A and B are shown apart, each in its own frame.
Chain A
Amino acid sequence: MLKIKRFDIGITILMLIVLLGIIGPMLRNVDPFDFGNLRDMPPSWQHPLGTDSLGRDLLAQLMYGIKTSLYVGLIAAIIAVVIGVVLGGISGYKRGLADESLMSVTNIGLLLPSILLMVMIAAYLKVRSPLMVAVIIGVTSWPGMARGIRAQTLSLAEREHVYLSIMSAYRASRVLFEDILANMAAYIFTSFIIHMSGAMLAEAGLSLIGAGPTMGTSLGLILFWAQTMYAISRGLWLWFIPPGAILVALASSLFIVASSLDEYFNPRLRSK
């Protein structure tokens, strides 16, 4: 596709996993929440990954879990990007009081171990859908995004074309949108991808502590059940190794895609 070979590798792995999550359930019509199977079964034609200790088919769980994890990652990243871009952009452009107050909020937000906030919010909402978990993660991760956006805005605001627009009496919002944001688009896009992978890993971590979604299943939740049912000590490696491996593959491929896009948009980073 793009001239960078790494991009092809990354996007291929990503697409394979996404397809597994989306097309998989259509091709294989097994209910991931069917507790009726025999428990702790080894792999067979009927259950290629076996079943877990609660009688659910692991492959169906995996495919459904991929979908949920991707969904949570996507929504959380969108929220973080939207809030981060708006607040970071205003902060970097307007400076002054708005900038100072926003930076103190961001600093507190960055210092607070976000696990704390997330677990407490999760404990407050006894029943949590994946969407709510995504919102929680998005709301706790925007400070990092805002910081980066603000730094970029600060440097972009000094460029000549911005001065030109201001002199031509463009409204501030128009200047922000057309001159500054348009030039940051590549950065925003790659940050979005990185945040998405971070959000997926955050969801897995939350689920492992028990603060994840209470409905449905996700890659983190599969790991949670494995941990609770002592799958490690019992040697049921087909339970906890595939979800983690898929998570690592997703995060790695997203990272490769992001960094190769970085190289594509910014020729100075290319190796030759």
Chain B
Amino acid sequence: MAVALFTFSLIIFLLPRLIPGNPLAALLAEIAQRGQANPEAVRIYERMLTDYFKFDRPLYQQYFDFMGRLFRGDLGTSVRFFPSKVSELIAASLPWTLALLIPATLVSWVIGNYLGVVIAFKRGRRTDKVVYPVLLILSQTPYYWLAMILLYYFAVQLHLFPVAGVHSPLRVPNLSIDFIIDLLHHYTLPFLSIVLAATGWWAIGMRALAIYETGSDYLLYAESLGVSNRRLQRFVLRNSMLPQVTGLAINFGTVLGGALITELVFSYRGTGYMIYQSLISLDYMLIQGVFMVLMVTLLLAIFIVDVIYAYIDPRIRTGYMGG
């Protein structure tokens, strides 16, 4: 894991710098506009900023500087949103993204798994013939297109939900009921688009696993004893859940990418939006900071899922304890 992090930090450091273009260009243009476009002043600014960000030092020095700062918890200062610190920007946007992604992923995982098992049991009958194609289409639908449709129908046509943003522009985030309702109002459509698409995906996966499980002997025996269908479903759910748990861990990485686009469609000011801004403006510091944080979060999620894995599967537990 440490090797992966280290390699990743190298990649995330080198790759933006390989892209031709001056990271300070956008910032200098803005300064030149706001000031009186005095070429001398702009040049002085450029020298001052280059010195501040150490862009003129050799690459390996910049890298050591970056890693050193990283271990102290200092992610540097953003170029695009100068003079905000990267950690401030991330702290402002990450909670919104996580608040969207984590519940959406968990809800769709739970519902999807349950649906998958139920569908597997009703295989070949009428319910399967109707629900399976629906789930299939949902699973292959990109989040963002579903987001567009929901936005169009519910927000633009029916005016039931707002079109963009996390909360109404005039409100300041606070903990009043008013604000929370407004928040949920804005939150619903992005949440729904992720949940609908992801549920289809999990359900299809679970159905395949559950069908495999339904061929096993213990189920036949239980059925012959007259165990109710619902209890049989519970058995199947628990026994075929393992690959889905692994999938959940891997999924976090992919969902971050998908959420990026969803956030764009809704102008939802989360981390995805921040990533997008940093990439198009070539803000080295912000790119490095955001992706390192993302990577750490991802590895943490995988680690937590590993622990949960050991918890729910007694075979792995005994393996660890040398049983």
Contacts and interface: CB of A to CB of B under 8 A. Distances in A.
B240 to A, nearest CB: 15
Contacts of B145: 204, 223, 240, 244, 247-248
Interface residues of A, number: 39
**Most B Cβ at <10 Å: residue of A111, A223, A235, A248:** A111
A123 B149 contact: no
A240 B149 CA distance: 9
Contacts of B321: none
Given A205-B258, A226-B148, 17 more contacts: A104-B4, A108-B4, A111-B8, A111-B295, A111-B299, A115-B256, A115-B257, A123-B279, A205-B257, A208-B261, A209-B276, A227-B265, A244-B141, A244-B142, A248-B140, A248-B142, A271-B124
Interface of A: 104, 107-108, 110-117, 119-120, 123-124, 197, 201, 204-205, 208-210, 223, 226-227, 232-233, 235, 237, 240-241, 244, 247-248, 251-252, 255-256, 271
The secondary structure that dominates the B interface is helix
Interface string B235-254: 00000000000000010011
B149 A120 contact: no
A120 B15 contact: yes
19 contacts: A111-B8, A112-B8, A112-B11, A113-B256, A120-B16, A120-B279, A123-B279, A209-B264, A223-B145, A227-B148, A235-B152, A235-B157, A240-B148, A241-B148, A244-B142, A247-B145, A248-B141, A252-B137, A271-B123
Contact of A255 (B136, B156, B257): B136
A209 B142 contact: no
Nearest to A236: B152
The 3 closest A-B pairs by CB, nearest first: A115-B257, A244-B145, A251-B140
Contacts of B209: none
A197 to B, nearest CB: 7
Given A208-B144, A223-B145, A227-B265, A116 B156 contact: no
Given A205-B144, A244-B149, A124 B264 contact: no
A237 B157 CA distance: 11
B151 interface: yes
B29 to A, nearest CB: 18
Contacts of B276: 209
**Most A Cβ at <10 Å: residue of B20, B148, B254:** B148
Interface string B277-289: 0011010000000
Interface in B289-318: 291, 294-295, 298-299, 302
B140 A123 contact: no
Contacts of A104: 3-4
Given A104-B3, A204-B142, A252 B250 contact: no
Contact of A209 (B7, B124, B260, B298): B260
A174 B5 CA distance: 38
B86 to A, nearest CB: 16
Given A114-B257, A115-B260, A123 B144 contact: no
